[in-house]
Structure 1
Amino acid sequence: MTAEVWDGEPPAADDRGDWEEQAETQRHSPSGELALWGVAAGPMDTYVHLSDADGRWRVRVYCEGRREVAVRSLRTRLAITRYGEGSDWRTRALEPADRATLFEPRPPTRAVFTTDMHDRPTPEDQALLSALGDDGRLGYTELAAVTGMSEHTARRRLQRMLREGEITLRCDLARPLAGLPTAMIYRTSVPHSQREATGNALARMKQVRSCVSVSGPHNLLVIVWLHGLAAVDPFEALLADRFPDLEVRDRTAVLHSAKHMDRLLDLQGRATGRVPFALPPS
Structure 2
Amino acid sequence: MAEASVWRPRALSQTEESALRAWPPRGEADAKLTREERAAVIELLSQDVRRPITELAERSGLSKRRVSDFLSAMTTSGDLVIRVDLARRLTPFPIFAYYFLTVHPSRVGQIAAQLGRMSETRMVARIVGRYNLAVTFWLRSLGDLQRLEEALDARLRDVVIEDRTLVTRTPKHVGHLLDDDSFATRGRVRVLPV
TM tier, shorter chain?
A: 0.7 to 0.9
Equivalents in 1 of 2:83, 2:130: separation in Å?
A: 31
Distance across 1 between alignment mates of 2:2 and 2:22: 17
The amino acid of 1:252's aligned partner reads T
Instruction: Kindly state the Cα deviation for residue 152 of structure 1 after the two structures are TM-superposed.
Output: 1.5
In structure 2, how many angstroms separate the alpha carbons of the residues matched to 1:277 and 1:164? 23
Query: Equivalents in 1 of 2:17, 2:53: separation in Å?
Result: 27
1:170 is aligned to 83
- Which one has a larger percent helix, Structure 1 or Structure 2? 2
What is the distance in 2 between the residues matched to 1:274 and 1:87? 23
Structure 2 equivalent of residue 277 of structure 1: 190
**Which segments of 5 or more consecutive residues in structure 1 lack a partner in the other structure?**
1-82, 106-120
Distance 1:94 1:160 in 2: 27
Assess, with a 3 A threshold, how the Cα gap between structure 1 residues 198 and 174 changes in structure 2: closer, same or farther. Answer: same
Distance in 1, matches of 2:152 and 2:22, equals: 28
What does residue 132 of structure 1 align with? 45
Question: Contact 2:8/2:84 (CA < 8 Å) preserved in 1?
Answer: no
User: Number of residue pairs matched?
Assistant: 184
Question: What is residue 29 of structure 2 aligned with on the other side?
Answer: none
Does 1:190 pair with 2:190? no
The unaligned stretches of length 5 or more in structure 2 are: 24-33
Secondary structure of residue in 1 paired with 2:21:
coil
**TM-score scaled by structure 2?**
0.86
Residue of structure 2 equivalent to 1:41: none
Q: Do the aligned partners of 1:189 and 1:218 also contact (CA within 8 Å) in 2?
A: yes
Task: Tell me, yes or no, if structure 1 residue 268 matches structure 2 residue 186.
Answer: no
Which structure features the higher share of strand residues?
Answer: 1
Higher Cα radius of gyration: 1
1:88 is matched with 6
**What is the 5 A alignment of 1:59-138?**
83-103=1-21, 122-138=35-51
Describe the superposition over 1:149-195 as per-residue Cα deviations: whole angstroms up to 9, x where unpaired.
11121112222222222222223000012122211111101111211
**1:231 corresponds to:** 144
RMSD: 2.1
- 1:147 corresponds, among 56, 60, 64, to 60
Residues 124 and 134 of structure 2 are in contact (CA less than 8 Å); yes or no, is this contact kept in structure 1?
yes
* TM-score using structure 1 length: 0.61
